[in-house]
Structure 1
């Protein structure tokens, strides 16, 4: 068989598998947004069935044969070429997935669906005991997955590799520890400054209906295409999808917390822009797939923080904000508002935390999830361990488990190894944004004029269109000429919060 014919067989097979995955994504989105509670058990069976079918297709022997042919072909010699990228990345994933028993794949999907509903109910009732059995079962299944994948160091490495290929728990742990050591004194300086942000401005009455409308205006302004996407409500914000032209953003709203809903929208919009920027031609194949979760998070954190919390952004959006909420914004000036939405202080909820303290929240989750996977922390002891870690690392102690170990959805889904990608995303975002500004000029001035397209076009060219042709580390070095470093992020934080808090 010719290389062209083999490549076409792989491409057709992958595209059909991607269609099934997109159906699963739509089913999951519906589960978290509109599904009636009584549908949970049947939905779990649907998800298990789809996961089984997708796994069987993804590990089909004929696919392995075709990939072996492609990998041996001269056309695969260039790892960044279409064929080279497809052969390399699909072979890596194929070898990984063939290690998993189909029964385990289906059981993980079934338990994840069930566990999500147990988590949502437990969080609402502040009742960790009702969620504990689900988390224990999911933890057991994740250990089974790690054992099936195999690992040299820690079982955590096998799970982390699913989200950030090539990384290990030790390398990520070292990066997080170094970041923590630089962030801790900065946060202490902020706390000891005696300066207080006017945060009450963001806690006035912001009617939800107006928040929805304003959030959509902002998301569209920065480039999200609502003809190819939507925005809905869920307990824990996420970006899902049912295909390259059907990206589902979700958020949650609090009438007396503007920051919660709005910046969740911008965060998920960043994910959505990445998905809308991937090549539709290569849907389901590596050239049309995001590089890693860390790079995906770099896009969400960039639009949420480096754009959305910038002074230039609010120079443009302050007047529309006042028009949308005339009563709440009466008497507020732009500088007050900018300080209010950039308040920095130790807090309890990760998704509501500021740029200065956010990565400390990630450090807590990394430490705890790795300890659970490695058997050093029992699920029964998680609430106490969480509270101790928050007091020690973040500087805030939860009053209850809803504010503590029940606040995130990830562990109910089995996403162990996911959390470090948030911190990696912050590091990637700062370094990439620094380069974008070097290439494009003063981005803040552009934002003040409502010009967000130049940055989005830069991201589309430099990142979105690349797919998985290079690794995350290679991408950053190709774009910036430097390996990943914490310095751009720390320089940004020191400059911003130094100015706000007089440090």
Structure 2
């Protein structure tokens, strides 16, 4: 077979597989939003059947034959060309997939669906005892998976590869050691400042119907294409891409707290704008996919924090809020801006302030690492969780739902995902700095309602590349420097030093 014919056949096959995956994405969105309570058991079996179908396709001998026929093809000589990128990533995925036994792939998919469904109910009931068996099964199966796909140094590296290709646990440990230390020092200085923001501004009466309208208005105006997406309420906010023209987000609403819906919506819109900006002509191939979850989180965290908590952003949008919520009628712009940037150690990660957020991730990363190094078992997690919250944030949950059961990630078997949030913060600081150098006064643009220049810059420099580069290499390619936690620390020190006059 000619290499050109082999590539055409392989591309056709992989795009067909992507259509099956997109149907799975739609079923996943439905499970997290509107599925009837009694439909979860059947949905778990659907996911198991889909996992079996996808595993057979991903490990098909035909992929190996096509890849063999492409060895040494001249049109793949430029490693950054779309065809070369696709073949590289298809080969990597094929080699990993065929190491996983079909029965393990099916069992893991079913356990993930069952775990997530159980978590939604058991978290509400604060029932750790009921949830523990689901989590134990997920950890056991994930350990099997890590051993099956293989690794050079440790099992956790095998899990990281699914979310952040090229990343390693040892390098993350070094990053968290430095960032955690610097964050705790800055937190101590902030908490000791006499210039504290007003309390309770976000914890007032915020009618839900008005929140829905405001969130929709804001995310639409910053660049989320609402004609190619939708916003729904959910237990845990997420973004999900079904395919071109259908990228969905969710957020959660509380009648007495505005921050969850507002910043959850902006965060997920950041994810969605990345998906909407990926080249549609490459859909179904690696060139039409995000570079990694760290890069994905860089988009959501950049829009949520660097943009959404800036003074310029609220100079533009605060009139909308004051016109929508009577509870803000006596609150000045300056007071509101300080309130949305308030630093206070808290229990809930998704509602954490920008400074303490990475400490929340450090807790989860260290617990995951201990689990997969055999230093910790699932039964030990609640006590270990509480101990780390005391050490890093000086507080401790009084229940499981605000502690070890608060996130959906472990219930869905997403081990190795959490550190990508902090990688996203590191990348976001680098990208915002580079964008500011390229575009000038970004906050001034935000104040005038001009968000397209930043979005277009991200589309050109990040979104358009798909998986052309490994995540760290992509950031270096855009910024001209290797990504470093020092840039994030400098950003945090400048921002909170000004806000708290320290």
TM-score range, shorter chain: over 0.9
Question: How many angstroms does 1:226 deviate by?
Answer: 0.9
Deviations 1:161-183 (A, max 9, x none): 11111111111111111111111
Question: How many angstroms does 1:69 deviate by?
Answer: 2.3
Question: How many angstroms does 1:284 deviate by?
Answer: 1.3
Please list, as runs of the form range in 1=range in 2, the aligned pairs for 1:301-312 lying within 5 A after superposition.
Answer: 301-312=301-312
Task: Output the TM-score relative to the length of structure 2.
Answer: 0.99
RMSD: 1.0
Q: What residue is the counterpart of 1:328 in the other structure?
A: 327
| Distance in structure 1 (CA, Å) of the matches to 2:68 and 2:164 | 24
Q: What residue is the counterpart of 2:340 in the other structure?
A: 341
| Distance in structure 2 (CA, Å) of the matches to 1:154 and 1:194 | 46
Question: Mean Cα displacement is larger for which, 373-382 or 462-471?
Answer: 373-382
Q: Aligned pair 1:432/2:431, yes or no? A: yes
| Distance in structure 1 (CA, Å) of the matches to 2:419 and 2:110 | 25
Please list, as runs of the form range in 1=range in 2, the aligned pairs for 1:77-226 lying within 5 A after superposition.
Answer: 77-226=77-226
Q: What residue is the counterpart of 1:373 in the other structure?
A: 372
Q: What residue is the counterpart of 2:239 in the other structure?
A: 239
Task: Output the TM-score relative to the length of structure 1.
Answer: 0.98
Q: What residue is the counterpart of 2:398 in the other structure?
A: 399
Secondary structure of 2:230's aligned partner: strand
Residue segments in structure 1 that go unaligned for 5+ positions in a row: none
For the 8 Å contact 1:71–1:88, the answer to whether it is kept is no
Q: What residue is the counterpart of 1:9 in the other structure?
A: 9
Q: Aligned pair 1:482/2:487, yes or no? A: no
Secondary structure of 1:247's aligned partner: strand
Question: How many angstroms does 1:475 deviate by?
Answer: 1.1
| Distance in structure 2 (CA, Å) of the matches to 1:76 and 1:439 | 33
Secondary structure of 2:407's aligned partner: coil
Question: How many angstroms does 1:199 deviate by?
Answer: 3.1
Q: What residue is the counterpart of 2:490 in the other structure?
A: 491
| Distance in structure 1 (CA, Å) of the matches to 2:312 and 2:432 | 15
Question: How many angstroms does 1:151 deviate by?
Answer: 1.7
For the 8 Å contact 2:2–2:69, the answer to whether it is kept is no
Question: Mean Cα displacement is larger for which, 188-197 or 474-483?
Answer: 188-197
| Distance in structure 2 (CA, Å) of the matches to 1:146 and 1:155 | 6
| Distance in structure 1 (CA, Å) of the matches to 2:264 and 2:397 | 22
Q: What residue is the counterpart of 1:50 in the other structure?
A: 50
Q: What residue is the counterpart of 1:361 in the other structure?
A: 360
| Distance in structure 1 (CA, Å) of the matches to 2:130 and 2:419 | 27
Q: Alignment length, in residue pairs?
A: 502
Deviations 1:204-254 (A, max 9, x none): 111111111100111100111111101011111010121121111011111
Secondary structure of 1:410's aligned partner: coil
Secondary structure of 2:226's aligned partner: coil
Q: What residue is the counterpart of 1:260 in the other structure?
A: 260
Question: How many angstroms does 1:487 deviate by?
Answer: 2.5
| Distance in structure 1 (CA, Å) of the matches to 2:256 and 2:495 | 26
For the 8 Å contact 1:190–1:345, the answer to whether it is kept is no
Provide runs of 4+ in structure 1 moved above 6 Å.
none
Q: What residue is the counterpart of 1:457 in the other structure?
A: 456
For the 8 Å contact 1:76–1:83, the answer to whether it is kept is yes
Question: How many angstroms does 1:346 deviate by?
Answer: 1.0
